[in-house]
Amino acid sequence: MVKEVYQVHQFVELSGALTDFNALALNGTGQVNDYLHTLTNIVGEEIVEQLLSTFSAVYEASADETMFINGIRQQILGDVKLGPVARNLIKLWYTGTWYQLPNSWREGFGKSEQDTTFFVSSASYTEGLLWQAIDANPSGAKGPGYGSWSQPPRINFNNAWQFKPSTKFR
């Protein structure tokens, strides 16, 4: 239980760093558990653990944000094994879609039968972060109300993820 809670917490932090949405926004989609399950089911527990522990290590070792970003690029996004998985996670959060991993990855690290391109659920489509990013509703859901489209979008970054904020949110 404790381990699971910790894993979910780390997953949310990793997702936050990759997508630039804070934990409130990520939890606010209601998709955290479904996405973690999807990821684990397709790439396996071991790779998920490796991804999360690499993230933690980079996070802890980074004195500032520039160092952190470089660390993520070199040790996760630029890693042959972890890179495609992390990019899939970004796309998953932004669109609700799991994209089939690249063939080179599948040859090297295992072909799951579930590794096809699909929406995790009908809810995951409507919870894609891309829509929040541009202050729009997902096409076909959450209609913002008559005439709302006449006003400029209220794009803001208030719920952005923060690297080691001075007052750490609990």
Partner 1 sequence: MSDRVINSIEDLYQMLDAAVQLEHATIPPYLTALYSIKTETNPEASAVIRAVLVEEMLHITLAANVLNSLGKHPDFEAKDFVPSYPTYLPDGESEFLVSIDKFSSTTLDTFLQIERPSKWVPQLDSKFKGCVKRSNHHVFELKAVKPLKSSTYSFYSIGDFYEAIREGIEYLEDQANQKGETIFIGDPKFQVSNRYYYSGGGEVVEVFDKTSALNALELIIEQGEGHTHQIFNEQGELSHYYRFQQLKLGQYYQTGDSPDHPTGPKFEVDYKNVHPVKCNPKVADFPDDSELKQAALQFNENYQAFLSTINRAFRGGQEELIGAVCGMFRLKECASQLIRNPLPSNPLVNGGPTFEMRYDSIELKAKSIKTWETA
Partner 2 sequence: MNDSISTLQQITLEQAIERSNKSEYHACIVGSGISGAILAKQLTQKGYRVLLLEAAPAKDMTYTGFKEYVSNYYLNPSKDNNAPYPENPNAPMPRSTDVSKLTPGVDDTKGYMVQRGPLALDSTYTRVTGGTTMHWEAKILRMLPEDFAIKSTYGVGLDWPISYDDLMPYYRLAEREIGVSANVEEQGFYGIKYEDNYVYPMYGLPPSYLDQIVGKGIDGAEFELYGETHTVTVRTFPQGRNGIPNERYDNGRGFKPVGAISSHQVEQGGRCQGNNNCVPICPVQAKYDARKTLLDAMRTGLVDFLPQAVASKVVVDSDDQSIKHIEFKHYSSTERTEFTLAKVSASKYILATNAIENARLMLASGLPSSSGLMGKNLMDHTYLLAWGLLPEAAGTMRGTKCTSGVADFRYGRSRSKQAPFGIDIHNDGWGWATGSPFTDIETLVDEQNRFGKDLRKSVVDRISNQLLFAYMVEQVADESNRVTVDPEYKDALGNMRPIINYNLSDYSKAGIAYSRETSKVFFQRLGAEDFSSYSPLDYGYFNYQGENYYFRGGNHFSGTHVMGTTAGNSVVDAYQRSWDHPNLYLVGSGSMPSIGTSNTTLTLAALCFKTSEYILDEMSKQSVNIVSNSDFRLAKEAGHE
Tell me if 160 contacts partner 2 by CB under 8 A: yes
Residue 102: phi and psi, rounded to 5, are: -60, 150
Contacting residue, 11, 12, 19, 55, with partner 2 by CB under 8 A: 19
Give the binding site for partner 1 (CB under 8 A). 5, 8, 22-25, 27-30, 121-123, 126-127, 132, 135, 142-148, 154, 156, 158-159, 167, 169-170
Tell me if 136 contacts partner 2 by CB under 8 A: yes
- Integer Cα distance of 107 and 127 in angstroms: 31
Which residues contribute to the site for partner 2 (CB under 8 A)? Answer: 17-21, 69, 72, 77, 86-87, 90-91, 94-95, 97, 99, 117-119, 121-123, 125-126, 130-131, 133-137, 139-153, 155, 157, 160-161
